[in-house]
Amino acid sequence: MTCCSITEIQGVKILNATTSSDLRGSFVKFDPNNLLSEKLGYVALSINPKVGTIRGIHLQIEPYAEEKIVSCIQGSTFEVIVDLRPDSVSFGKFATFELSYKNFNQVYLPKGIAHGFQTLSPQTILHYFLTSKYSPESSLTVDPFGDLKINWPIRDFAISEKDTKGVSMEFAAQKYAQSLDV
What confidence tens digit (pLDDT) does each residue in 4-60 have? 678 889 999 887 777 788 888 878 777 776 667 777 788 899 999 999 999 999 999
pLDDT confidence tier of residue 182, bands split at 50, 70 and 90: low
Q: Which residues contact 163 (CB under 8 A, 6 or more apart)?
A: 54, 55, 56, 141, 144
1 pLDDT band, cuts 50/70/90, is low
Residues forming the active site: 58, 128
CATH 1.10.3470.10 fits 2-180, yes or no: no
Mean pLDDT of the chain: 91
pLDDT at 177: 96
Q: Of 74, 70, 124, give the one whose Cα is nearest residue 97.
A: 70
Q: For the purposes of burial, counting CB atoms within 10 Å of the CB of 144, is it exposed (0-12), middle (13-18) or buried (19 or more)?
A: buried
User: Average of pLDDT values for 105-125?
Assistant: 96
Among 49, 45, 70, 61, smallest CA distance to 141 is for 61
